[in-house]
């Protein structure tokens, strides 16, 4: 087991009878998911994905990654939300947040089309000057504004630089199998395409081509990633909450919510977990935040944020709980040097491993936050390998679905995301939105 749930810092916050009361709800939720009969079941494709995936496409992903590695110094990955967060999280977790600065035989990877910032786009274009570029555009719908604008820009850049024919070797499109406009366009243009399966929503798509192609381009072992997820899938087949940590996590979150803990902070003690936190926030926020319900997901990296948000967590409003990820084996070793002058008075830790100090900071914080009235769920993850990450990804996905069903929502839709888009399209003058535009302009002018 690569991920283990530890409840020792929940003592006094959730009683065993509260867990017992929620077990029947969790059993039903598990059955709804495994039987494929739950709400949103047309988006249950991710459940069996770790074993039931398109092997031919998986092989093509590896070939495409090799081609990109050979042809490009820079891979630009264009996508937003579920179409980029998983890949970026995986690359930073397994490789490094400083991946682009590492010595390596794989291309630098930049993410575009996840904002509408002029600065971000122009900076990236300037970084690309004089470099060999490949592009992986990822959009299930093919019409999302942010990635669509970025793809217009990079497609023209590649065609200008390499010609129509040359661009075909450098543009890789991950999109809907048949319906989307991007698929039709790519087939006509001769770009290689990969599929976002119909029954897998964006935030559950990291183990499809959406995540796998960029992840493979970073030199990460995607077989090991899938194996980790497959082993998690096997482990979570049981509906016994005492043997299934994903169910247990879902129960604990719901128990805490029901006693007013409506904000969950995902805590990492490694900067390489920052984007994993972002991926997790989308997964839980978009899955549970609906119908006036949900736990607000936020995140921190400690000890960094102990020096900014630590005060609030210790002492602010008591509606918080934390889920702390501890990486058991840090991989590298670093020993704190001695300072004969002992200027900082820290010679009592000379010769100690830095990770020992990090873990001690974690234990000290867990106890302090408990004392301050903050329940903590501890998730112990074996290491930062692709295998463990695959296991962790599936753990969070599975727990999220169970948790959403216990909460009484459909964890697979996201109706709320459309609201801003409609307003934006109306204000930008999209045909068909004329009445809405007039009404919005009236509101804006305050008439």
Contact 113, 151 (CB under 8 A): yes
Window 146-165: contact mask with ligand PA5 (x via CB under 6 A): -x------------------
- Nearest approach, Cβ of 289 to ligand PA5 (angstroms)? 12
Interacting stretch for ligand PA5, rule CB under 6 A, among 9-17, 47-55, 140-148, 300-308?
Answer: 140-148
Select from 50, 86, 197, 202 the one that contacts ligand PA5 (CB under 6 A).
202
Complex with ligand PA5: residue 269 or 280, whichever CB lies closer = 280
Compute the least distance from the CB of residue 144 to ligand PA5, in Å: 3
CA distances from 83 to 23, 144, 248 (A): 34, 11, 29
Q: Which residue among 170, 203, 290, 384 contacts ligand PA5 (CB under 6 A)? A: 203
Q: CB under 6 A: which stretch of 49-57, 139-147, 304-312, 378-386 binds ligand PA5?
A: 139-147
Evaluate whether 85 touches 275 at the Cβ level (below 8 Å).
yes
Instruction: Kindly name the residue from 259, 421, 434, 441 that is annotated as catalytic.
Output: 421
Smallest distance, ligand PA5 to C-beta of residue 140, A? 4
User: From CA 171, how far away is CA 237, in angstroms rounded?
Assistant: 39
Q: What are the CA-CA distances from residue 78 to residues 62, 182, 257, 347 (Å)?
A: 19, 13, 36, 48
User: Does residue 83 touch ligand PA5 according to CB under 6 A?
Assistant: yes
- Interface region with ligand PA5, contact rule CB under 6 A, candidates 76-84, 219-227, 356-364, 378-386: 76-84
CB 211 within 8 A of CB 198: no
Question: Which stretches of 35-144 are DSSP H helices?
Answer: 55-71, 85-90, 118-128
Q: Which two tokens stand for residue 420?
A: 């801003």
Backbone φ, ψ for residue 137 (5° rounding)? -95, 135
Is 369 among the residues known to form the active site?
A: no
The CA-atom distances, in angstroms, between 229 and each of 52, 220, 233 are 12, 15, 6
The nearest distance, CB 205 to ligand PA5, in angstroms, is 7
Query: Which of 154-162, 200-208, 269-277, 288-296 is the region at the interface with ligand PA5 (rule: CB under 6 A)?
Result: 200-208
**Spatial contact of 307 and 421, defined as CB atoms under 8 Å apart:** no
Backbone angles phi, psi at 102, to 5 degrees: -75, 155
CB of 139 to ligand PA5, least distance (A): 3
Interaction of residue 139 with ligand PA5, rule CB under 6 A: yes
Are the C-beta atoms of 7 and 252 separated by less than 8 Å? yes
| 130: CB partners within 8 A, 6+ apart | none
User: How far is Cα 175 from Cα 178, in angstroms, rounded to an integer?
Assistant: 9
Q: Does 170 bind ligand PA5 (CB under 6 A)?
A: no
Does residue 414 bind ligand PA5 (CB under 6 A)?
Answer: yes
| Residue 80 within binding range of ligand PA5, rule CB under 6 A | yes
Q: Does 201 bind ligand PA5 (CB under 6 A)?
A: yes
Please give the structure tokens belonging to residue 2: 């690569």
Pick 125 or 149: Cβ nearer ligand PA5: 149
140 binds ligand PA5 (CB under 6 A): yes
- Closest distance between ligand PA5 and the C-beta of residue 308, in Å? 28
Sign of CA dihedral 83, 87, 88, 89: positive
| Known catalytic membership, residue 188 | no
Q: Is 286 a catalytic residue?
A: yes
CB of 210 to ligand PA5, least distance (A): 8
Q: Does 144 bind ligand PA5 (CB under 6 A)?
A: yes
- Asked whether position 411 contacts ligand PA5 by CB under 6 A, the answer is no
Rounded-to-integer distance, Cα 405 and Cα 156, Å: 45
β-strands 74-78, 108-112 pairing? parallel
Residue 423 C-beta: closest distance to ligand PA5, Å = 16
Residues in CB range of 343: below 8 A, 6 or more apart:
none
Q: Of the listed pieces 8-16, 199-207, 229-237, 385-393, which binds ligand PA5 according to CB under 6 A?
A: 199-207
Is 260 in contact with 376 (CB distance < 8 Å)? no
Task: Give the residues lining the site for ligand PA5 (CB under 6 A).
Answer: 80-83, 139-141, 144, 147, 201-203, 286, 414
Catalytic residues: 286, 307, 421
């Amino acid at each position: 087991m690569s991920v283990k749930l530890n409840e020792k810092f929940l003592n006094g916050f959730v009683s065993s009878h509260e867990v017992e009361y929620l077990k029947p709800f969790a059993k039903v939720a598990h059955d709804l998911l495994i039987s494929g009969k739950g709400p949103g079941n047309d988006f249950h494709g991710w459940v069996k994905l770790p074993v039931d995936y398109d092997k031919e496409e998986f092989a093509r992903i590896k070939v495409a990654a090799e081609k990109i590695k050979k042809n490009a110094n820079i891979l630009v990955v264009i996508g937003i939300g579920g179409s980029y967060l998983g890949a970026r999280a995986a690359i930073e977790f397994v490789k490094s947040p400083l991946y682009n600065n590492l010595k390596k035989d794989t291309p630098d990877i930049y993410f575009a089309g996840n904002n509408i910032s002029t600065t971000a786009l122009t900076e990236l274009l300037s970084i690309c000057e004089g470099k060999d570029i490949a592009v992986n555009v990822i959009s299930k719908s093919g019409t999302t504004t942010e990635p669509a604008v970025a793809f217009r820009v990079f497609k023209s850049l590649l065609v200008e630089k390499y010609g129509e024919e040359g661009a075909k070797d450098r543009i890789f499109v991950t999109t809907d199998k048949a319906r989307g406009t991007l698929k039709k366009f790519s087939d006509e243009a001769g770009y290689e395409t990969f599929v976002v399966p119909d029954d897998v929503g964006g935030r559950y798509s990291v183990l499809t081509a959406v995540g796998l192609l960029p992840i493979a381009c970073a030199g990460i072992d995607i077989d090991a990633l899938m194996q980790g997820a497959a082993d998690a899938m096997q482990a979570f087949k049981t509906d016994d909450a005492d043997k299934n940590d994903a169910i247990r996590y879902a129960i604990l979150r719901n128990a805490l919510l029901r006693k007013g803990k409506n904000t969950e902070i995902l805590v990492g003690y490694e900067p390489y977990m920052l984007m994993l936190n972002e991926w997790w926030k989308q997964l839980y926020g978009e899955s549970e935040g609906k119908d006036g319900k949900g736990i607000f997901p936020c995140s921190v990296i400690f000890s960094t944020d102990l020096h900014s948000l630590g005060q609030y967590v210790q002492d602010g409003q008591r509606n918080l709980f934390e889920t702390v990820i501890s990486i058991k084996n840090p991989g590298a070793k670093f020993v704190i040097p001695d300072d004969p002058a002992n200027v900082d008075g820290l010679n009592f830790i000379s010769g100690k491993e830095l990770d020992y100090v990090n873990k001690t900071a974690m234990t000290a914080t867990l106890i302090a936050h408990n004392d301050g009235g903050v329940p903590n769920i501890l998730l112990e993850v074996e290491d930062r390998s692709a295998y463990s990450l695959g296991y962790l990804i599936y753990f969070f996905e599975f727990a999220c679905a169970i948790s959403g069903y216990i909460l009484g929502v459909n964890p697979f839709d996201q109706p709320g995301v459309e609201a801003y888009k409609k307003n934006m399209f109306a204000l930008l003058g999209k045909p068909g939105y004329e009445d809405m535009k007039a009404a919005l302009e009236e509101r804006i002018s305050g008439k």
